[in-house]
Amino acid sequence: MIIALAGNQNSGKTTLFNQLTGSNQRVGNFPGVTVDVKEGIYKADKSIKIIDLPGIYSLSPYSPEEILTRDYLIKQRPDGIINIIDGTSLERGLYLSLQLLLLNIPMVIAINMMDEVYANGIVIKTDILSEYLKVPIIPVCANKNEGITDLMQALKDLVDNRCTPPKQDFCTGAVHRTLHATAHILEDHAQRANVPASFAAVKIIEGDEPMMADLALGENEIEMIEHAITEMENELSLDRMAAIADMRYQYIEDVCKKAVTRPKCDKHHDRTIKIDNVLTHKIFGIPIFLGIMLLIFWLTFGVVGSYLSDLLSGAIDSLAAIVSKGLTDFGINPVVESLVIDGVFAGVGSVLSFIPTIIVLFFLLSLLEDSGYMARVAFIMDKLLRKIGLSGKSIVPMLIGFGCTVPAIMATRTLTSDRDKKMTIFLTPFMSCSAKLPIYAVFTMAFFTEHRALVMTAMYLIGILLAILVALISKKFLFKGNPIPFVMELPNYRLPTVKNTFLLLWEKTKDFITRAFTIIFVASIVIWFLNKFDIRFNVVSDSKDSMLAAIGSLIAPVFTPLGFGNWKASTALLTGFMAKEAVVSTLAVLLSTGIEKLSAPLATLFTPISAFSFLLFTLLYTPCVAAVAAVRRELGTKYMFISIVFQTGFAYIVAMVFYQIAMLAG
Amino acid sequence: MTLDKLGVGKSGRIIAVRGHGRLRHRLLDMGLTPRVIVHMQRKAPMGDPVCIYLRGYELTLRLEDASMIDIEEISV
């Protein structure tokens, strides 16, 4: 039995899904969609599969979420629907219900957040609601796991008896007449397209293009329907779109008048207003937001994250030492030992040591998201971000990018618009990640001793300015399309639930570990191999004879116009693709010295101008393999390659333009 | 007048939602239908977007889009 969960954003749908399935869930396989759809097995009855559809407000064909939900419900036809509604904003929730009810699929309505409803003194007479809507209405409290068993039992009974919602009209007068006339005209077509006629009729009247295409109506029929609609529009002096929306809300208002009593004051909303008076304050709102981001940074990359990361990398090092000793004692071939230690442990280990940072960061971010603050961030930052063609929500991934590009790209999952998501993912690598800091530190120490801070700050600012420039250009030429309208609910502030937070963290960690042992595992071995053997497959004692160095020498001339056409610099850039810190450590190995003594030998490779050009290139060129893998996870292989080529090409042009101009200027 | 002109703390009744396509559909879907009463809750620190209160929840939209909504101011 397959049950679909449908409801508004912020209605507690994910909480309900987590309660129903526990940790027994995974991201479903819905090819070609950028929206996450999760599926899981019902804890109490393993024969029931539950699909968590994205949060939507209507079944219109506009956003990717709406299209996905529609297609799923109409074409896959689950055995039952749980429609979850936030009891504190019942009217808006029921607006979706009235559309779901026409789909002719067994359905129950779960009214969620009943604890808040009671606390607010709102009375919802579910029996009266149920009488009007003719489906079971179950009050639940998903975060406290209350009412869930009743809910599932009610739905199971309906599905077992194939009890679909009875046909009903939510309207009178002109809309009613037009609906019936339209339904009658398109009945045969609807049957052929396998959609309920009454649902098809409403959608056709709304001017729904995909439905029009599905039904393949004849010219005659279109004309008859058009005639009926025009008559309705004239009678109501409302156009078709408004007439249908008005009809639904009119019906809902009438039902709510009978079934719901609301006290004058709304405690939860009053509390939200008080919090917002501070958090979205005219003057302090933005500084508070920046302060919160700084705090998160400090906690993640400073205190907790780095402590845990150091602990974990210490543990990985000790494990590597033990394995190394074991292998040596066993008398294993030193090349195999090197593969395990220098290849697998070094590569996968360095990526695994990111995990604590990522967990801490996502823990803090999920608090922001679940409490309702993230929606406010979009609210206060929207005007600024709109200037470069993005919307307010994109600011969070971009700021995280200063810490690490990998979680930043993972965080774009919260962006609802596909266009914003792509653009944000392309721009985030311009925010100098913390792994580039050692490169800046070593180079400024060697070449810009007197202006260290200035050059370092310049790197960060250049990244930001170029991101803005690229955003402005791509807004004009690449990502033209209509941005999704910025019309967004600001949910009441709520305490995040422990279960949701931990399931989210578990999911992110699992995702990251899987990646570490697939793409990064392979990449580590490839780099190790190139670094260990020469072109005749002999083990090298000095890495300057390795294949990697050979490749470095081969591509070195490419960097001559940039001022650093030597094989050591290009080899360092190649290893930098594994992890940005590797740029410095590779240079140290190739110059046979320690990182702290790099200044003098570096001066033999670079002039101050070519050093700055090198810094520009490392700032901008392709992000590391872990970040690239994250791009692939979010946008697919095609965009991963586009991203690599774009970033590297852009870095090349910027560094070359700088170097050539600087040389001309002397 | 239009919704973008409504002062903070003031309320208005919606007369019509103009515009077309996706944006208009979205506004209607979110409950901005004729006769409904909206309250101007606050403006973002940079003056745009705005946050309104209607049908028991808060909604944010940009001034540009709010100017598509005709309202009459009412006193509550």
pLDDT-based confidence at residue A439 (cuts at 50, 70, 90): confident
Name the CATH superfamily housing domain A2-160.
P-loop containing nucleotide triphosphate hydrolases (3.40.50.300)
Which of the following CATH numbers is that of domain A173-258: 3.10.20.30, 1.10.287.1770, 1.20.970.10, 3.40.50.1820?
Answer: 1.10.287.1770
**Positions of E strands within A457-551:** 488-490
pLDDT in tens, A243-262: 999 999 999 999 999 999 98
Tell me, what's the pLDDT at A561? Answer: 94
Tell me the mean pLDDT in the region A529-535: 85
> Residue A438: what residue type?
P
User: What is the per-residue pLDDT for A67?
Assistant: 85
- Separation between Cα atoms, residue A620 and residue A639, nearest integer Å: 17
Placement of tokens 């208002």 in the chain:
A253
The continuous run of DSSP H or E covering A81 comes out as strand A80-86
Mean pLDDT over residues A13-25, rounded? 86
Would you place residue A177 in the very low, low, confident or very high pLDDT band (cuts 50, 70, 90)? very high
Confidence band for A167, pLDDT divided at 50, 70 and 90: confident
Please indicate whether, in this complex, the C-beta atoms of A269 and B25 are within 8 angstroms of each other: no
Sheet holding A38-41, edge to edge: A25-27, A38-41, A49-52, A2-7, A80-86, A107-112, A137-139
What tens digit of pLDDT does each residue of A596-617 get? 778 888 888 999 999 999 999 9
Question: Given this model, what pLDDT does residue A186 score?
Answer: 92
Please state which CATH class domain B3-74 belongs to: mainly beta
Determine the angle formed by the axes of helices A173-193 and A219-236, rounding to 10 degrees.
Answer: 160
Is pLDDT of A168 > 90?
Answer: no
Q: Which of A488, A300, A311 is nearest to A404 (CA)?
A: A300
Chain B hits for A380, Cβ within 8 Å: 44-46
**What ranges make up the beta strands (E) of A453-521?**
488-490
Instruction: Indicate yes or no: CB of A249 within 8 angstroms of CB of B23.
Output: no
Collapsing DSSP states into helix, strand and coil, what is residue A139? strand
pLDDT of A363 over the 70 cut: yes
Q: Which residues contact A202 (CB under 8 A, 6 or more apart)?
A: A99, A102, A179, A244
Local confidence band at A34 (pLDDT 50, 70, 90 cut-offs): low
Asked if the interface predicted TM-score (ipTM) of this complex is over 0.90, the answer is: yes
Task: Identify which has the larger pLDDT, A136 or A630.
Answer: A136
Q: Which residues of chain B does A92 touch, with a Cβ-Cβ cutoff of 8 Å?
A: 30-31, 55-57
pLDDT tens per residue across span A208-227: 888 999 999 999 999 999 99
Q: What is the largest CA-CA distance in chain B?
A: 33
Which residues of chain B neighbour A290 with C-beta distances below 8 Å? none
CA atoms within 13 A on the CB side of A20: 32
Region of residue A563 (left: phi > 0; alpha: psi -120 to 50; beta: else): left
Partners of residue B61 in chain A, C-beta under 8 Å: 485-488
In chain A, the percentage of residues whose pLDDT exceeds 70 is: 95
Query: How many cross-chain Cβ pairs, A to B, lie less than 8 Å apart?
Result: 125
A313 has pLDDT over 80: no
CB contact under 8 Å between A89 and B55, yes or no, is yes
- Break chain B into its structural domains and give their ranges: 3-74
Per-residue pLDDT tens digits for A566-582: 988 998 898 888 788 77
Does the pLDDT of residue A30 top 70, yes or no? no
Q: Where are the alpha helices (DSSP H) in A22-146?
A: 64-71, 90-100, 114-119, 126-133
Q: How many CB atoms lie within 10 A of CB A117?
A: 22
What is the Cα–Cα distance from A154 to A176, expressed in whole angstroms?
31
In this prediction, residues A60-64 reach a mean pLDDT of 79
- What are the chain B neighbours of A260 within 8 Å (beta carbons)? none
- Other C-beta atoms lying within 10 Å of the C-beta of residue B17: 23
pLDDT at A666 over 80: no
Q: Which of A273, A379, A395, A484 to mutate to test the interface with B (most CBs of B within 10 A)?
A: A379
What sections of chain B are H helices per DSSP?
Answer: 21-29, 63-66
In whole angstroms, give the CA distance from residue A488 to residue A533: 57
Token pair listed for B76: 């509550």
Closest-CA residue to A637 (of A503, A519, A461): A519
For residue A411, the number of C-alpha atoms closer than 13 Å in the C-beta half-sphere is 28
Percent of chain A's residues with pLDDT above 90: 46
Q: Are A42 and A119 in contact (CB under 8 A)?
A: no
Q: What is the pLDDT of residues A375-424, one digit of tens each?
A: 899 899 999 888 888 888 788 888 888 878 888 888 787 676 778 888 89
User: CA of A652, closest CA in chain B: separation in Å?
Assistant: 37
Residue A194 has pLDDT above 80, yes or no: yes
Q: Nearest residue of A to residue B46 by CA position?
A: A383
Q: Confirm or reject contact between B9 and chain A (CB < 8 A).
A: no
- Under the banding of pLDDT at 50, 70 and 90, the label for residue A369 is confident
The SS3 of residue A475 is helix
Q: A91 contacts in B (CB within 8 Å)? A: 31, 55-56
| Digit-coded pLDDT (tens) for A422-435 | 889 999 999 988 78
pLDDT attached to residue A248: 94
What is the pLDDT, as a whole number, of residue A468? Answer: 92
> What residues of chain B, 11 to 40, have a C-beta less than 8 Å from chain A?
16-17, 22-31, 33-34, 36
Residue in this structure with the two tokens 């302060």, named with its chain if needed: A291
Provide the 8-state DSSP code for A146. B
Report, as an integer, the average pLDDT of A500-506: 83
What pLDDT, on a 0 to 100 scale, did the predictor assign at position A104?
93
